[in-house]
Amino acid sequence: MRKAPALILVLALSTLQLTSASAATKATTVSAAFKTLLNTTSNSLDALEQKYESDIDALDATLAAATKAADATLDQELQAATALYAPQISAANKKAEDAKLIFLANNKLVIKQSLFSSMDKDRVWQYFICPDTTLPAGAGWMEIAKRYCANDNNKPRPGDVSTKTTSKNIIGGEDWQSGDQAEISYENSSKSQILDAIAYGWVVPLNLSLYDSSRLTVKTETTNANDLTLLNGKARTSAQTKRDNAVALATKTREEALADLDDAYENAKTQLEAQETAASLALLAAKRASKDSNFDAAFVIAYKFEYNRQKVGEIADAAWTGEWTFRTIDSIIKVNKLAVTGDSIGKKYSKSAASAFNSAVGNAFTNEPDFRAALKVLTAIYKQTTKTTLKF
Residues 142, 35 share a domain = no
236-269: pLDDT as tens digits: 999 999 999 999 999 999 999 999 999 999 999 9
Flag whether 295 is in a domain. yes
Element (H, E) at 103: helix 3-105
Residues 202, 268 share a domain = no
Flag whether 239 is in a domain. no
Q: What whole-number percentage of the chain has pLDDT above 70?
A: 78
Flag whether 87 is in a domain. no
Residue 13 pLDDT class (50, 70, 90 cuts) = very low
Residue 24 pLDDT class (50, 70, 90 cuts) = low
Burial of 54: CB neighbours in 10 Å, binned 0-12, 13-18, 19+:
exposed
Interhelix angle 208-289/351-361, rounded to 10 degrees, is 130
Residues 292, 369 share a domain = yes
Flag whether 241 is in a domain. no
Residues 113, 47 share a domain = no
Residues 269, 178 share a domain = no
175-200: pLDDT as tens digits: 777 888 889 999 999 998 899 889 98
Q: Give me the number of domains the chain comprises.
A: 2
Is residue 67 pLDDT above 50, yes or no? Answer: yes
pLDDT attached to residue 185: 92
Whether 354 and 302 have beta carbons less than 8 Å apart is answered as: yes
Residues 6+ apart with CB under 8 A from 202: 111, 112, 113, 115, 118, 119, 124
Residues 362, 292 share a domain = yes
Flag whether 331 is in a domain. yes
Residue 348 pLDDT class (50, 70, 90 cuts) = very high
Flag whether 61 is in a domain. no
Residues 269, 354 share a domain = yes
Residues 137, 42 share a domain = no
Flag whether 2 is in a domain. no
Domain that holds residue 360: 20-52+264-386
Residues 382, 273 share a domain = yes
Looking at 186, 206, 226, which one is the last position of a domain? Answer: 206
Flag whether 24 is in a domain. yes
Looking at 206, 221, 248, which one is the last position of a domain? Answer: 206
